[in-house]
């Protein structure tokens, strides 16, 4: 049984990577009273003996080759199990796709981060391990939030890295809130993580962060920390603030920020999503063109079959351009700068 090894090493990441798609559940209690429950491979829940009012989900490795956040979460989990970090709140850590970590790939068969909010079960006859995993992850998150009394504070930070370089190295995606106000306190939290750039989505999505935001009213974000690198090849000093702030989030009753200052942030409204619809799909710019590169109105962005897709307005900037996505999926997100206004509370 892996539990003895987990107790002595705290290395839940290695155990998860050795059990790519499932791991028998098990539990134990730390000397400080924190209950440790392994729910599945990559899924570990911590319940302090006396816990505060926050229910916190930290996920990473939803894409297997996005290693910096996996390394951060690995170290946090290890610190908790080895009792170097005392938790103040209930926390659910998720390593999303251990099998794709072992391949050093984004996914094995299908992009896990397009399979939430029930998308795992759409498309008749379609079944694969990522679909099964998405459904399981939904139920772990759902149980985690629902196991305790209603009305508690919920958050979910789904940690990723971008495929391309980015003019803004760290940025977050604020899922569509269906007209609810964006929270300044969340911008402050992200800033404390070293993330000053936030994109406001304008429509529902099948991502993990949208799932927690829409179904559980959690403060949920996709957070992009740097660029894809192999395990061990990240300059972790670039993510020190993120690790420190996440550690504080789970170990301190409340986080305290300085005054909110709009000039600290670079905010972007999502202008449109460009989907790949045809087999023949090419981007009109090179692989080293970074996220947040702005185009002039009329400049060519992509060719989708016969259709030329051009920038609609001056300053339309590209995020996550990827010509290799499956047909029907997002190939580019475009954004325009925006300011803090009355829609932020």
Ligand X SMILES: O=C(O)CCC(=O)N[C@@H](CCC(=O)O)C(=O)O
Q: Which of 120, 160, 243, 271 binds ligand X (CB under 6 A)?
A: 160
Which of the ranges 25-33, 94-102, 143-151, 158-166 carries the binding residues for ligand X, by CB under 6 A?
158-166
322 contact choice in Zn ion, ligand X, none (CB below 5 to 8 Å, kind-dependent) = ligand X
Residue 54 contacts Zn ion per CB under 5 A: no
* Cβ atoms within 10 Å of 84's Cβ, excluding its own: 11
Answer yes or no: is 66 a known binding residue.
yes
What is d(CA 104, CA 17) in angstroms, rounded to the nearest whole number?
11
Using the minimum distance from each CB to ligand X, give the nearer residue, 6 or 335: 335
HSE-up of 345 (CA within 13 Å, CB side)? 4
Task: List the interface residues with Zn ion, window 63-122 (CB under 5 A).
Answer: 63, 66
CB of 29 to ligand X, least distance (A): 35
Answer yes or no: is 160 a known binding residue.
yes
* Cβ atoms within 10 Å of 74's Cβ, excluding its own: 22
HSE-up of 30 (CA within 13 Å, CB side)? 26
Answer yes or no: is 63 a known binding residue.
yes
3-state percent helix, strand, coil for the chain, nearest multiple of 5? 30, 30, 45
What is d(CA 160, CA 171) in angstroms, rounded to the nearest whole number?
10
Using the minimum distance from each CB to Zn ion, give the nearer residue, 87 or 115: 115
For the chain, counts of helices (H) and of strands (E): 8, 16
Q: Report which of 177, 172, 277, 181 is spatially closest to residue 221, judged by C-alpha positions.
A: 172
DSSP E strands, 120-256: 153-162, 170-174, 197-200, 219-227
CB of 13 to Zn ion, least distance (A): 17
Q: What are the beta bridge partners of residue 322?
A: none
Question: Is 224 a known active-site residue?
Answer: yes
Residue 164 contacts Zn ion per CB under 5 A: no
Which of the ranges 91-99, 158-166, 244-252, 330-338 carries the binding residues for Zn ion, by CB under 5 A?
158-166
Residue 133 contacts ligand X per CB under 6 A: no
What is d(CA 302, CA 85) in angstroms, rounded to the nearest whole number?
48
Q: Which of 74, 160, 170, 271 binds Zn ion (CB under 5 A)?
A: 160
Asked whether 328 and 277 are in contact (CB, 8 A), the reply is: yes
Residue 170 contacts Zn ion per CB under 5 A: no
CB of 319 to ligand X, least distance (A): 8
From residue 325, alpha-carbon distances to 29, 128, 164, 248, 278 in Å are 43, 17, 14, 36, 11
Q: Which of 87, 162, 187, 191 binds ligand X (CB under 6 A)?
A: 162
Catalytic residue among 71, 130, 224, 316: 224
Cα 259 to the chain's mean position, in Å? 26
* Cβ atoms within 10 Å of 61's Cβ, excluding its own: 27
Task: List the interface residues with ligand X, window 96-125 (CB under 6 A).
Answer: 113
Residue 173 contacts ligand X per CB under 6 A: yes
Residue 273 contacts ligand X per CB under 6 A: no
Which of the ranges 84-92, 204-212, 238-246, 272-280 carries the binding residues for ligand X, by CB under 6 A?
204-212
Q: Which of 322, 323, 336, 338 binds ligand X (CB under 6 A)?
A: 322
What is d(CA 137, CA 39) in angstroms, rounded to the nearest whole number?
10
Residue 222 contacts ligand X per CB under 6 A: yes
CB of 149 to ligand X, least distance (A): 29
Using the minimum distance from each CB to ligand X, give the nearer residue, 100 or 113: 113
Q: Which residue numbers belong to the known binding site for Zn(2+)?
A: 63, 66, 160
- Which residues are known binding-site members? 63, 66, 160
> Which parts of this chain interact with ligand X (CB under 6 A)?
63, 113, 160, 162-164, 173, 205, 207, 209, 222, 320, 322
Contact positions vs Zn ion (CB under 5 A): 63, 66, 160
Return the active site residues: 224
């Amino acid at each position: 049984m892996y539990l003895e090894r987990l107790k002595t090493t705290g290395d839940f990441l290695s155990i998860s990577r050795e059990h790519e798609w499932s791991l028998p559940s098990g539990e134990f209690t730390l000397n400080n009273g924190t209950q440790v429950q392994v729910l599945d491979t990559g899924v570990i829940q911590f319940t302090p003996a006396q816990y505060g009012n926050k229910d916190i989900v930290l996920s990473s490795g939803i894409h297997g080759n996005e290693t910096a956040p996996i390394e951060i979460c690995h170290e946090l989990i290890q610190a908790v199990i080895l009792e170097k970090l005392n938790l103040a709140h209930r926390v659910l850590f998720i390593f999303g796709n251990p099998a794709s970590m072992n391949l050093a790939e984004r996914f094995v068969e299908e992009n896990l981060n397009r399979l939430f909010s029930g998308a795992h079960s759409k498309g008749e006859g379609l079944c694969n391990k990522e679909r099964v995993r998405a459904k399981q992850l939904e139920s772990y998150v759902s149980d985690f939030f629902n196991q305790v009394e209603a009305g508690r504070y919920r958050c979910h930070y789904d940690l990723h890295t971008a495929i391309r370089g980015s003019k803004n190295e760290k940025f977050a995606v604020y899922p569509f809130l269906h007209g609810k106000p964006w929270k300044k306190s969340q911008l402050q939290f992200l800033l404390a993580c070293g993330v000053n750039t936030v994109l406001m989505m304008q429509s529902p999505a099948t991502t993990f962060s949208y799932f927690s935001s829409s179904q559980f009213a959690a403060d949920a974000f996709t957070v992009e920390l740097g660029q894809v690198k192999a395990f061990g090849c990240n300059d972790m000093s670039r993510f020190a603030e993120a690790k420190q702030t996440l550690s504080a989030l789970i170990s301190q009753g409340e986080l305290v920020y300085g005054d909110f200052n709009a000039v600290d942030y670079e905010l972007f409204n999502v202008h449109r999503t460009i989907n790949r619809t045809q087999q023949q799909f090419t981007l009109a710019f090179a692989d080293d063109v970074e996220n947040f590169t702005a185009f002039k109105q009329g400049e060519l962005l992509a060719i989708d079959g016969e259709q030329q897709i051009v920038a609609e307005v001056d300053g339309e900037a590209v995020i996550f351009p990827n010509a290799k996505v499956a047909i029907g999926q997002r190939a580019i997100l475009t954004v325009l700068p925006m300011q803090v206004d009355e829609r932020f509370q």
